[in-house]
Amino acid sequence: MAEKERHCDESFCLFGAQVLQKRLQALTREIAGVREAKDLEYVHRMRVASRRLRSAFSIFEPCFPVAQMGRWNRRIKRITRALGAARDTDVQIAFVEEFLSRIEGQRERRGVERLSLRLRQRRQALQANVIETLDRLESSGVLRDMEETLLQRLVEARVNQTPETSPWMYRRACEMITLRLEEMLAYEVYIHQPEHITQLHSMRIAAKRLRYTMEIFEPLYNGEMKKHIQVVKTVQEMLGDIHDADVWAEQLPVFIAEERARTREYCGSEAPARRLLPGLEALRADRQAFRQQRYKEFLSYWKDLGRDDVWGTLRTLVLERAREAVRETSLPEAVLELAPDPASD
């Protein structure tokens, strides 16, 4: 191997190879469906798989050569972006169709139907970008390189009889989960300020990263991590709903301005575009009301989590399992350079 990997616990790297292999397979099995574009769920599943794969890259990065890991990450990041734009548009189209089903009057349908048309046109253009990015990914050889590298690692681990677990694995899990948790909680100061749209969106991203990290290490905790994962998933989804409403608030004025410009160019006047406004205003009001309601639900849920000390329980779980893993070996507990026991504070 031309470039030496950084030193890392062999059991941890075996675990990493298994995690990466599983996530790589989850990504590649969706490729054919994404190309055909007959079922929107292929795009959704592949997008999620690419995100989970990249999340695993950040955790198991010490187990692989820097240049190789960097090449993998860059290629997968490109497909994540392409799929993200397509998926976001799919979600908007689905919502607009559902909203249309609730409108009875033709006066309000015009604007929403025009929006649906423009979104479908956008989605068609994005599909070409998805296909082009997929072509580049497959022709780059990165998927094959990952598959071969991971398989080689698994074979070497079996030949060397590498243990399935080690105290270092639990230490790393404790460090990473705690770090991701603190990154999410850093935004807690903004949750009672609904106007802080950017910070609430960043909190959603931090919750997603925490969830993906917990999912990676979940096999180490004998089912005890599942309820915490579900809690973080709920936080992520609620903040995601709030963000989606904020996106509509940002994009609808842009759409109206664009339609006015198109109408002026083709008709010489903006007057025909005014017929679109009742429906678009109805949609805006609907999303505004939804945002207010969902925000209230989020605050109530977050208050319940604090009352039940959910985050303290999660910290204790990962710290205690790490300490137990050390105590079950002959290693001194000093090998576990973790945060102090909360009981000693």
In the predicted model, is pLDDT for residue 328 greater than 90?
no
Q: What's the CA gap between 145 and 64, in Å, rounded?
A: 12
Would residue 300 be called left, alpha or beta, if left means φ above 0 and alpha means ψ between -120 and 50 degrees? alpha
Residues with Cβ within 8 Å of residue 288, at least 6 apart in sequence: 245, 249
- Split at pLDDT 50, 70, 90, the class of 341 is very low
Q: Please state the domain extents for the chain.
A: 1-164, 165-335
Q: What percent of the chain has pLDDT over 70?
A: 93
pLDDT at 7: 52
**pLDDT reading at 147 higher than 90:** yes
pLDDT at 264: 83
Q: Is the pLDDT of residue 332 over 60?
A: no
CA dist 193 and 204 (Å) reads 15
What share of the chain in percent tops pLDDT 90? 83
Give the mean pLDDT of the chain.
91
pLDDT band at 3; cut points 50, 70, 90: very low
Q: What is the DSSP string of 291-343?
A: HHHHHHHHHHHHHHHHHTTHHHHHHHHHHHHHHHHHHTSSS-GGG---PPPGG
The pLDDT tens digits for 7-30 are: 578 999 999 999 999 999 999 999
Q: Is 5's pLDDT higher than 60?
A: no
Residue 185 has pLDDT above 80, yes or no: yes
Which of the pair, 248 or 342, is modelled with greater confidence?
A: 248
Return the pLDDT at 236: 98
pLDDT band at residue 282 under the 50/70/90 scheme: very high
Q: What is the pTM of this model?
A: 0.89
Q: Is 193 exposed, middle or buried (0-12, 13-18, 19+ CB in 10 A)?
A: exposed
The average pLDDT across 48-75 equals 95
Write the DSSP symbol of residue 38: S
- Class for domain 1-164, per CATH? mainly alpha
Return the pLDDT at 343: 36
The per-residue pLDDT for range 92-140, each reduced to its tens digit, is: 999 999 999 999 888 899 999 999 999 999 999 999 999 999 999 999 9
Alpha-carbon gap, residue 96 to 117, rounded angstroms: 10
What are the pLDDT digits (tens) for 54-65?
999 999 999 999
Please report the pLDDT score of residue 330 as a whole number. 57
Q: What tens digit of pLDDT does each residue of 252-268 get? A: 999 999 999 888 878 87
**158 pLDDT more than 80:** yes
Please tell me whether residue 23 adopts helix, strand or coil conformation: helix
- Is the pLDDT at 2 greater than 50? The verdict is no
Asked if pLDDT for residue 331 goes beyond 70, the answer is no
Mean pLDDT to the nearest integer, 280-298: 97
Window from 49-53, 192-196, 324-328, 333-337 with minimum mean pLDDT? 333-337
